[in-house]
Structure 1
Amino acid sequence: MACKGEDGIQPLMLRERIRVDGVAADASFNASTGELRWGSSAGVNWCLMMESEVLGFKTKGVKIIVKAFVFASKGASFGASGGKLARTRKDFVLEMPSEQCAMIWSDKFGDLINLFGRPRRLFIILNPYGGKRCALKIFQNDVKPLLEASGIIYTLQETSYQLHARELAHKLDLLKYDGIVCVSGDGVLVEVVNGLLQREDWDTAVKVPLGIIPAGTGNGMAKSLLDSAGDSYSVSNAVFAIIRGHRRSLDVTTVQQGEARFFSVLMLTWDVDIESEKYRWMGSARFDFYCFLRVVNMRKYHGNVQFVPAAGYEVYGEPLDRNESCKDEVPEQTCGVAARVQQCGYTGPKISLEDLEWKSVNGPFILVWLNNVPWSGEDVMPAPEAKFSDGFLDVVIVKDCPKTAFLSLMLKMNDGSHVKSRYVMYLKVKAFRLRPGQRVGNPDKGGIIDSDGEVIARGEGTYECSLQETDLMTYGPPIQMTVDKGLATIFSPK
C-alpha cells in the first residue's frame, strides 16, 4: 500500500508491507493512538504502544530501528502482559520498501513522541558512597543504556561530600535542563529539594521535575512511586518512568524549631531507625535485623505530640484550647544553629496555626513515625494510606504494646497490615508538633529524631551523641511540621 494518500497528505493510519527483523509482515501505525502493529504469515503478531513501550528510534536508509522496553513475556500475541512482570530491552528493525516510506513513518513516530512531553536534557546527580557503593555501576549498566536509547542528553555529576547535592541544586542553571535526577538513596533527593527551596527563585525552581533512581539503602520514594503504578521495583522501571516524562505533585513538609528549618519529602521518626545505620553493610536486611534488636531492647519515652487531624480523624487525641496551642508554638531559637539557616528562599506554608483545631496525646511512647509516602524503604511500608500530594502526613503512634505484639506489628510493616493492630494509632494530620522527652526509667538518656534519613536532633546517651553540636535542632524543645500541598514536582510512572 502507498505511504501517502492520493492528495499527498500523510494519513493518521499508515499501512505497508514491510520486513520486521528480516521477516515479511503487514504493518500498520495509528498516529492517533500510537499503536504500531505487525503480523507475519508465520503467526507472529506484535503490538507496540509508542507511549508506554518505546524508548526511541533511529532511521538508517530504508530501515527504522525501534528501541523498545517491553514485558519479557510479551510476544506471540497482541497486547502487553499485565501484573508486575519484568521488562526487557528489545530492538525491532523495520525495513521499508523505500527511503521515502521510511522517512514518512519515522516522521510520524517522531511527531507523536514529541507530543508526550518527555525530558530531553537531564542533570544527573550520583552519590558514589550511598548504600553498598554501587551507584556508578548501576548507572553504567542499567541507567545509561536506557537514556542513550531514548536520545536523552544528560550531564552527570558525582557528589563528593555531604550536602554537595544541596549546593549543586542551589546553584544550578535550571534553564539548561528539563529535570534533575538522583542516582542514590532518598538522601540526595532530599538535599536537592532543600537546595531548590533555598534559592531566591525557589517558587519556580521547586517546580523543576525531580527523578529518583534507587541506588541507596532505603529507596522509599522510588518504591512508593513504582508501587503506586503497579510496577515492580527495579532500577530499569525507575529509569523508564523518568524517560516517559509523566509528572505528579509532591507534598513538602517544613520541619522547624525556632529559626532552624529542614524540608522533608519522605518521613520523620522518633527513635525508630537511625541506629540501623551502623548495619548499613547488610543492605535492606538491616531494617529487619534492627526491628529484632529494637524489640529485645524495647524503649519508651516521655513526651507529648500535638496535631491538627484531617477530616475523619478527629476522634484521636484530646482537644487543646487556643491558649494551650499558642503556648506550645515553636519558640524562636537564639543559639548557634541560626548561622546555618538559609537567609532567603522558601520559609514554609502560609497558614495560621493558631486558628486550627489542635489535638494532644501524652506519652510514654514506643514509636512515633510520620510519612509523606507509603514506603520508607523497598520492603518497609509504614503508611499504606499515604498519598503524594494530599496535603497530609500519615502518623503511626505506638504507646503501650507487649514485646511479642510489637515484634509482630513491626514485621507486618512489609505490607502495611500493622495499622490494623489495636496497639497502633494511625491517622492523617495537616500539622504536627513533637515535644520529645527522656527515656522511661532512665532520665539521663534521650532519643533520636530523624528526618528523611538524617539525624536532626539527639538526646544525651544516644547513638553518636557526641555529634549533638552539629545537629540542626535540639532534643527537647518542640519540633513542628507543616505540610505544603503539592509544592514540588516529581517524575512518576503515571
Structure 2
Amino acid sequence: MAQEELKSIDLEDIFFHYRHSSQQYILKLSLTNLSIVTKQDENKNKSSSSVNNTQIIPIDDIYGCLCMKSMKNSNQCCLTFYLYILKRSHTLSGIVSKKYDFHRIQHTFMYGKYNDYETNYAEIMRWHRHVTYAIYLRRNLPFDIMTIKRDKRALVFVNPAGGAGKAYRLVMEHVAGIWSEAEFNYHIVITEYAGHAREYVKTIELNEWSGIILASGDGLIYEVINGLFNRKDWQEALTLPIGHLPCGSGNAFITNIIRHSKQPIETSMEKFLVQSAILIATHQVIPFDMAVIDTCDGQRIFSFLSIAWGIMADVDYESEKYRFLGETRFTVEAVKRILRPRIYNGYIDYLPYDVTDDTVQTNQITSNTTTNGLSEHLLPLNEPISIDPTTSKWRRIDGPFAHVLITSKAALSKGSISTPQSTLTDGYLTLQFIRIHGSIRLNLAKAFTKLSDGKHFNYDFVEWMPIRAFRIVPSETNGNMMIDGEKVPYGPIQGEVLPSIARCMGKQPRND
C-alpha cells in the first residue's frame, strides 16, 4: 500500500450484526475514526427511531482487527474490532468519585454483500488492511518502519522469578491473547540465570528485531540496557525501543511510560499487565533520558532510573528478603529504617542544570563515539573536583545525610513518585536529599507517607534541585549504594545525564 493511498482512507459499506442478520450497520472508516451507523427499519415511523444512531470510535481506541470466515454461512465473513476504551467505573466508588477504568471491548460484524466467499473475503481484507495501517499511522512511526519492519518480531524476555514466580503464566493468560488480536509478532526467551538477558542482547542481529520487551521487574531492564551499551554497535542497538510488561515488585519503567501518556494507571496486577500489553502492541517510539555512572571499582554503568544513597538504598536492598510480598516489601523495610535511621556522612558535588548553559550535552553521537566518550563533565574518580565559584560551576553539599536520591524519572515504583515534576526527557537529573537535623524519624516518616503522590517535596526539609552531573563521596566504607535497584560497590560514585539517548515503547498524550 502506497503512502499516498494511506493519506486518503475513506471506506464505507453495509454490514450486519453477527447474530441478527436483520440488524444492519453502515461502517465508515477514515484515518482518525470508525463510524458505526445503525440502519433504521424503513417500515418504522421515522419519528420513533433513535435520534442517536451513530457511534464514533477513535482509531486510537482500536488496537486490533481480525477477519474470519462465518461459521453459519460459508459465503460470509466476520470482521472484529478490538477496543480498549476509558469508561466510567460501574462500581459505587466509581459513581461517587467519577472514576474511570479501561475496558476491553470487541465489535463483530458480518459481511455478505456478494454471493461468493472469495469476493467477500477480498473486500473484508481490504478493510482489515486499511484499519491496520490507520492504527499504524496514529502511532506516528516513520513510514519505513510501518512498511518494512512492522512484520518483524519483538524479542521478549520473561524472568521466571518475576511476579512471585508467575511471570510466564501472567504473560500467557493476559498478554498472549491481546497480542494475537493486535497481530503483534514476538518471540519469547525465558531467562535461565542472572545475566542471561544481558549476554543474549550482546550477540543478537539487530535488524532481525523490532524491539525488546521485558516481562519482569525493573532489574531485567537494567540488565538489558547495560548489555546493549556493551555492544560495539551500541549506537544502533539503542535505537531498538524497549517495552516493559510489569511482572515485578517495582515496575517503575512502565509506570513512567504510562504517566507520560497521561493515562490513569490500572490498580490490579492483571489490568496493569493488560494496559501495558495494549500500549506495547500499539506503541510509538519515545526517547528517554539516562545517566552514565562511574563506580569506585572502575565500572561504567548506565542507569535508566535512579542512584540511591541512604535510607532509600537501605530499603531497596534490605527488602530483598521480603520479595514474596511484592511492592509491600518496600513499606515493611521503610518502617524499620525510619525507626532506626542510619547516618550517612560524606559530601555531594554537583553541576547545576542551566538550560541556557552552552555546555549542555547534545548527544552528537557518531559511529566512532565510544561509551567512554559519552560523559562531558566527569573527571576520573580519583581526581578532585574544583568547587571554587570563581573558576568552576561545580558546587558542594556537606552531610551528614539520611536520604540522597538522584533520578531521571518521576516514579520509583508503581506506588511511589519520587520527583513529581520529572518526565521521560527532562535533559537533567533531579537531586533530592534530607539532612540529619531536627526530628529525623518524624521527618522521614512524613516524607515516606507522601511518597505515593510526590507531595514530600512540599516539606522544607526535603531539598532538591535539577543537576547535570554529580559525585557522591561517602566518609564510611560500609553502606548501601544502589543503581536502578541493583547494589554496586560502596564508595565514591559519579554520574552525568544522557538526554534522550535511548528509546522506549510508549505513547504520546492524546490531544482530545
> Any idea what the Cα deviations from partners look like across 1:408-448, whole Å, max 9, x if unmatched?
1111000000011011011111101111123xxxxxx7320
- Does 2:302 align with 1:288? no
Deviation, structure 1 residue 62: 3.7
Q: Aligned in 2, Cα 1:107/1:489: closer, same or farther, shift over 3 Å?
A: closer
Where do 1:222-241 residues align within 5 Å? Answer: 222-231=254-263, 232-233=265-266, 234-241=272-279
Q: Residue in 2 aligned with 1:160? A: 192
Who is 1:489 aligned against? 503
Instruction: Tell me the distance in 2 between the aligned counterparts of 1:227 and 1:359.
Output: 32
Pairing 1:23-422 to 2, within 5 Å after superposition? 23=20, 24-41=23-40, 45-60=54-69, 62-71=76-85, 73=87, 84-98=100-114, 99=120, 101-115=123-137, 116=139, 117=141, 119-120=150-151, 121-231=153-263, 232-233=265-266, 234-257=272-295, 259-271=298-310, 272=312, 273-311=316-354, 346-347=371-372, 349-353=374-378, 357-399=393-435, 400-402=437-439, 403-422=441-460
Q: Deviations over 1:182-219 (max 9, x none)?
A: 00001111111111111011111111111011001110
Contact 2:288 2:424 in 1 (8 A): yes
Partner SS, residue 425 of structure 2 = coil
Q: Distance in 2 between matches of 1:312 and 1:112?
A: 38
2:3 is aligned with 1:13: no
Aligned partners of 1:254 and 1:348 also within 8 Å? no
Are residues 66 and 50 of structure 1, via their aligned partners in 2, closer, same or farther at CA, if it must alter by over 3 Å?
A: farther
- In 2 relative to 1, CA 405–114 (structure 1 residues): closer, same or farther, beyond 3 Å? closer
Taking the aligned partners of 1:200 and 1:17, their CA distance within structure 2 comes to 55
Matched-pair contact (CA < 8 Å) for 2:175–2:273: yes
Deviation at 1:67, TM superposition (A): 3.6
Q: CA distance change for structure 1 residues 11 and 411 in 2, over 3 Å: closer, same or farther?
A: closer
Distance 1:136 1:345, change over 3 A: farther
Cα distance in structure 2, aligned partners of 1:16 and 1:86: 29
TM norm structure 1: 0.80
Gap change, CA 1:280 and 1:57, over 3 Å in 2: same
Aligned-residue sequence identity (percent) comes to: 23
Query: 1:479, 1:380 → 2: CA distance?
Result: 25
Give the Å deviation of 1:227. 2.1
Q: Is the 8 A contact 2:378 2:496 kept in 1?
A: no
Are the equivalent residues in 2 in contact too, given 1:313–1:428 (CA < 8 A)?
A: no
Structure 1 residues 219, 106: CA separation in 2 closer, same or farther (over 3 Å shift)?
Answer: closer
Q: Distance in 2 between matches of 1:52 and 1:69?
A: 5
Partner of 2:94: none
Q: CA deviation at 1:83?
A: 6.6
Deviation at 1:293, TM superposition (A): 0.9
Residue 356 of structure 1 deviates from its aligned partner by 6.1
Alignment partners' CA distance in 2, 1:36 and 1:348: 53
**How far 1:265 moved relative to its partner?**
0.2
Aligned-partner SS, 1:376: strand
Alignment partners' CA distance in 1, 2:350 and 2:442: 29
Letter in 1 for 2:463: M
Determine the C-alpha separation between the residues in 2 that align with 1:83 and 1:178.
36
Deviation sequence 1:9-65 (CA, Å, 0-9, x none): x97433333213335233232333242423354856533333332323225364242
The structure-2 alpha-carbon separation of the partners of 1:111 and 1:265, relative to structure 1 and needing over 3 Å to count, comes to closer
User: Retained in 2: the 8 A contact 1:178–1:208?
Assistant: yes
* Structure 1 residue 131, shift from structure 2 partner: 4.0
Whole-angstrom distance in 1 between the partners of 2:400 and 2:133: 62
CA contact (8 A) 1:55 1:149 kept: yes
- For 2:78 and 2:413, locate their aligned partners in 1 and report how far apart those are by CA, in whole Å: 41
Displacement of 1:283 in angstroms is: 1.0
Q: Describe the shift of the 1:83–1:18 C-alpha distance in structure 2 as closer, same or farther (beyond 3 A).
A: same
**2-side partners of 1:229 and 1:107: how far apart?**
27
Change (3 A) 1:62 1:11: farther
Structure 1 CA distance for aligned equivalents of residues 76 and 182 of structure 2: 21
CA contact (8 A) 2:86 2:100 kept: no
Q: State the partner residue of 1:323.
A: none
- Report the AA paired with residue 381 of structure 1: I
> How big is the shift at 1:480?
0.7
Q: Is the 8 A contact 1:52 1:244 kept in 2?
A: no
Structure 2 residue aligned with 1:333: none
> 1:296 & 1:446 partners in 2: Cα distance?
20
Gapped runs of 5+ residues in structure 1?
1-9, 76-81, 315-343, 439-444, 458-474
Structure 2 residue runs of 5 or longer lacking an equivalent are 1-6, 41-48, 70-74, 90-97, 115-119, 267-271, 358-368, 380-390
| Cα pair distance change 1:179/1:401, threshold 3 Å | farther
Q: 1:437 to 1:25 in 2, by over 3 A?
A: farther
Residues 234-264 of structure 1 deviation map (CA, whole Å, 9 limit, x = unaligned): 1111111111121111112111036311111
Comparing 37-46 with 271-280, greater Cα deviation is found at 37-46
1:387 alignment partner, SS class: coil
- The secondary structure found in structure 1 opposite 2:475 is strand
**Cα distance change of structure 1 residues 56 and 83 upon mapping to structure 2, 3 Å threshold:** farther
User: Contact between 1:250 and 1:388, CA under 8 Å: does it hold in 2?
Assistant: yes
Is the 1:218–1:378 Cα contact (8 Å) retained in structure 2?
Answer: yes
CA contact (8 A) 2:25 2:38 kept: yes
Contact 2:378/2:495 (<8 A) preserved = no
d(CA) in 1 for partners of 2:282, 2:218: 21
Match of 1:464 in 2: none
CA distance 1:159–1:362, shift in 2 (3 Å):
same
Gap change, CA 1:123 and 1:71, over 3 Å in 2: same
Paired residue type of 1:199: R
CA contact (8 A) 1:379 1:414 kept: yes
Contact 2:216 2:248 in 1 (8 A): yes
What secondary structure does 1:299 align onto? Answer: coil
TM-score using structure 2 length: 0.77
Q: AA paired with 2:309?
A: W
User: In the aligned structure 2, how far is the partner of 1:303 from the partner of 1:96?
Assistant: 76
Any conservation in 2 of the 1:59–1:106 contact (CA below 8 Å)?
no
> Counterpart of 2:19?
22
